[in-house]
Structure 1
Amino acid sequence: MYQWSKSEERLNRYAGRLEGESLSFLVYYWGSVRHLTANSLHRHSFYEICYVDGGTGVYMDGDQTYPLYEGVAFCTRPGRLHQIKDVDSLNLLFVAFEAMERPFAQEVTMKYVEALHRCAVWTEHAGDSPAIQIWKSMLMRSEPEASLPASLLPKLAHVLLQSLPVLLGASGSFESAPLFSSALQLIQKAKLYIRDNLSRPVSLPELAAYLNVSERQLSRLFAESIHESFSSMVRTERIRAAELMLQHTRDPIKVIAERTGFSSVHYFTRLFTKFKGIPPAAYRAKWTLEADHQE
């Protein structure tokens, strides 16, 4: 019924940066995988929401385990050690993302993230929900003429991500959620400051001074809230920005390396290859080939 791999490629091509009037999202990746294999224990620095469209498995979140079967939706919060195991023909839809704060809509963004932070880790009978129906509508059908046009994907994806707190049981809507905790707010501000200054070196003392906290307090905040060090976060943000530029610009590799704060093309190439498994030039060529194939 669905073209799973092509659906994944098309969503990653057209629904990466989702702009809205008050809420905007950055999607790190979409997934639509048949017969997913088990994975090892790992953590993310972002939210990942999954829906089981068939098969079975077990999801581990910290020291808790949850059964996976058709109709189950589950959420991985930033910094949580988690794993999918004991799978049997597991078909999974998933999206990894974060909300992007806008100066004129900070309160709405913070309430949305707080709602996500309060929602259930696991819920069943999600298949008939509006959110999952929207999600499935974005997949490519076996008959290409039955698929929605790619031009509709950004809007539908935005609606889907906006509805996820409700899907996972957040009471009411995020509009009425309490404000962000101070720790989460500081982490969000730290990420935004790093992103705004990627083209130059950013130090921990500089960031701490900007946030009006001590270096020790900031380091502890990173370790306890997202289980990531300051240097690791900066590196992650540089790779993320470079990946987006490789996808959506024709800028030379040297220019991308400079704009994302790498000291040399050689260092950029080595680090990008280490984390993405493919050199920058080859990544761009692969992305362009897949994009052209979808159009």
Structure 2
Amino acid sequence: MNLNEYTSGKITLNQYAHRLAHNGASFYVHYWGVMPKHYDNMFHKHSFFEVCFVVDGEGEYIEEGCTYPIQKDMIFFSRPDVLHQISSKDGLSLLYVAFELIESESNEEWIKIMDDVRNCNEIIIDVNNETPALLWKSLLIQSTKSEQAFFEEMIPNLAYSLILSLVQTFSSRSFNKHQHHTPKTASSLFNIAKLYIKDNLSQPLRLTDAAGHLHISGRHLSRIFVSEVGVSYSEFVQNERIQRAATLLKTTDLSIKDISEETGFKNIHYFTRVFTSTMGISPGRFRSIYIDSKATTYTKGQVQKQVR
């Protein structure tokens, strides 16, 4: 990424992304920076947070008597009122942002989070292809495209996402204390499993395959189906196959053999046996009833005709 091509982007960012507020947090951004070649500066400190992203090059970040090597794809974090210095013999390509929480416009939870961030222990982190790096690069690229629709809306939203990502990067423990991460509930896993089944009815759909898709155990998935719909996983899959087959019989000219393959049955004989057992009527008879009577719905042993 050649920063010389994006230096104009910092002007846009400083114009459109200096006050960012959402969900109980309000941040004031003092400045956004793009520095194609940064060498040395004097020891200094800020009254706010500053985060730098090394796009290219090597150097050192020094604070409180400690020297940290920095290189491409690292971000380093300067906290308020801490003396620090950046040094590089050959020059660093840097992106940087300086911000602080507006406490009068933020809730107590965010004030506590930022207090914890101020005391973080890890101030140098490699973010190669991780969220902060991707967001920062995306924000910089978008900042040079002022002609695009929704430009003024996109820039603050991307900027706010980046600030949150940076705060989270340097405060994972702090966020865990104050943010409640709700695991996927059984209902949400069940809904994902249903979609997986409906979209792959022509496949074997083994329990282990579906469980692997959801990154859970087969036993866990079995319990979810019994809990949510009162039937086993295999019963649910078979019922979905039959319902899909019924729809195809009613709405297409596919042969019964093709429908059996489309709905994942081993062969036409097995399909016919299961369909007849479930619906109380053979596939061929089921199709003919709908054609002859123009019925629209069917339940086992009962046909309902259209009302004209």
Relative to structure 1, the CA distance from residue 117 to residue 65 in structure 2 (aligned partners, 3 Å threshold; closer, same or farther) is: same
Does the 8 A contact of 1:58 with 1:66 survive in 2?
A: yes
Does the 8 A contact of 1:116 with 1:170 survive in 2?
A: no
Relative to structure 1, the CA distance from residue 27 to residue 143 in structure 2 (aligned partners, 3 Å threshold; closer, same or farther) is: closer
Match of 2:114 in 1: 113
State the shift of 1:109 in Å. 2.2
Aligned 1:32-71 pairs, distance under 5 A:
32-71=34-73
Count of residues in Structure 1 that have an aligned counterpart in Structure 2: 176
Relative to structure 1, the CA distance from residue 142 to residue 109 in structure 2 (aligned partners, 3 Å threshold; closer, same or farther) is: closer
The 1-side partners of 2:154 and 2:176 are apart by 24
Relative to structure 1, the CA distance from residue 22 to residue 56 in structure 2 (aligned partners, 3 Å threshold; closer, same or farther) is: same
Give yes or no for the alignment of 1:25 onto 2:35. Answer: no
The 2-side partners of 1:81 and 1:61 are apart by 6
Which one of the candidate residues 94, 102, 118 is aligned to 1:100?
102
CA RMSD in angstroms comes to 2.6
What amino acid does structure 2 have at the position aligned with 1:96? A
Relative to structure 1, the CA distance from residue 142 to residue 157 in structure 2 (aligned partners, 3 Å threshold; closer, same or farther) is: closer
Match of 1:91 in 2: 93
What amino acid does structure 2 have at the position aligned with 1:69? Q
State the shift of 1:89 in Å. 3.1
Q: TM-score, normalised by structure 2?
A: 0.52
State the shift of 1:146 in Å. 10
State the shift of 1:165 in Å. 2.7
Does the 8 A contact of 1:34 with 1:91 survive in 2?
A: yes
Relative to structure 1, the CA distance from residue 120 to residue 71 in structure 2 (aligned partners, 3 Å threshold; closer, same or farther) is: farther
SS at match of 1:171: helix
Relative to structure 1, the CA distance from residue 58 to residue 12 in structure 2 (aligned partners, 3 Å threshold; closer, same or farther) is: same
SS at match of 1:139: helix
Relative to structure 1, the CA distance from residue 163 to residue 111 in structure 2 (aligned partners, 3 Å threshold; closer, same or farther) is: farther
State the shift of 1:101 in Å. 1.5
State the shift of 1:60 in Å. 0.6
The 1-side partners of 2:50 and 2:139 are apart by 18
**CA deviation digits over 1:253-277, x for unaligned, max 9?**
xxxxxxxxxxxxxxxxxxxxxxxxx
Which segments of 5 or more consecutive residues in structure 2 lack a partner in the other structure? 180-308
Which segments of 5 or more consecutive residues in structure 1 lack a partner in the other structure? 178-295
SS at match of 1:75: strand
Relative to structure 1, the CA distance from residue 145 to residue 29 in structure 2 (aligned partners, 3 Å threshold; closer, same or farther) is: closer
Aligned 1:276-287 pairs, distance under 5 A:
none
Match of 1:186 in 2: none
What amino acid does structure 2 have at the position aligned with 1:81? L
Which one of the candidate residues 151, 159, 172 is aligned to 2:161?
159
4+ residue segments displaced more than 4 Å? 141-148
State the shift of 1:128 in Å. 1.6
The 2-side partners of 1:141 and 1:106 are apart by 30
State the shift of 1:149 in Å. 2.8
Match of 1:267 in 2: none
Relative to structure 1, the CA distance from residue 117 to residue 143 in structure 2 (aligned partners, 3 Å threshold; closer, same or farther) is: closer
